[in-house]
Amino acid sequence: MQALIDTDLDLAAQLLIDGQCVAIPTETVYGLAANALDKSAAAQIFKIKDRPEFDPLIVHVDSMRSAMKWVTDFPDKAEVLARRFWPGPLTLILPKRKEIPYEVTSGLETVGLRVPLHDLTLQLLEMLDFPLAAPSANPFGYVSPTNADHVFDQLRDKIPYILDGGESQIGIESTIVGFEEGIPVIYRKGAVTEEMIAEVCGDVRTQDHSISNPKAPGMLTSHYSPHADVEIITRFIRQVRDNEGYIAWKELPKGMEVKNKFILSPTGDLYEAARRLYAGLRLLDRKGLVRIFIELVPEAGIGASVNDRIRRSAAEK
């Protein structure tokens, strides 16, 4: 039986109450959701995604008040960040209560929590008396989905329902922030940038890669990758073969001949580049290409997060 794509919140809620997995929209990417308090439901997420058990899940709630129910401590700087950026693309790593099972946190004493900025999913969360564990709704390590069709392409026969909330408006995963000795530490870059966090918290550090046993979701060095090899452009390439593709920042280099191409942002908008990156990788990957060349974008603001995803898509698998 193939997944149904629709906007029926009552059906989505009932499936989740029954312990099943449902794909949900967020402003970042689509998530594969299940009851975060149910060990069996969490286990289904790992099985459906073929996700390693050492990689923890992010838990979604409908408000900061709800988040506080599931942690033993909510530091002052976490509260400052939550008040400034929730609902939004920020995940906070905080000490968990025992009700959050270790199956969700991969054995860690901390849990990643966020309030998504998506009306449909916020309505769904308000209908439930449990939070939702929800990593990206795709096979582990592959390019994250930014619309319902992306989810259907890969999980159509593995889940019963995809809640259709349109295109994700940000297009890359949330910023993840933990706290070490009272100082915010960025474990994964996202739309809430280091500069934005420093503006409200002062000192901030970044530690956003891990080979294995990460402290938070989304820290693995190789991730967000298509089947095709990805090569970051470091030199001018005059010609790209028919079995290769090229993703440009604003325009193709003058004189370049290329059949399979994608432009991240013709106007040079970094937020548009973030929103379109995964769609471009998926579009070219569906053509069965052997290699995708890709340009980095300017490192400013969200551009640093876009480049982070590009570098990880190109990392050795």
- Specify which of 12-16, 203-207, 221-225 reaches the highest per-range mean pLDDT: 12-16
Q: SS3 for 276?
A: helix
Q: Mind listing the domains of the chain with CATH numbers?
A: 4-172 (3.90.870.10), 229-314 (3.40.50.11030)
Spell out the SS3 assignment of 141-161. Answer: CCCCCCCHHHHHHHHCCCCCE
Percent of the chain whose pLDDT exceeds 70: 95
Q: Shortest CA distance to 277 belongs to which of 291, 257, 297? A: 297
Q: Across the chain, what does the average pLDDT equal?
A: 94
DSSP symbol at 2: P
> Which residues have C-beta within 8 Å of that of residue 241, sequence separation ≥ 6?
none
Confidence of residue 257 (pLDDT cuts 50, 70, 90): confident
| Mean of pLDDT values over 166-185 | 96
Which helix (H) or strand (E) segment holds residue 7: the answer is none
> Which residues have C-beta within 8 Å of that of residue 193, sequence separation ≥ 6?
175, 301, 302, 304, 305
| Mean of pLDDT values over 251-280 | 95
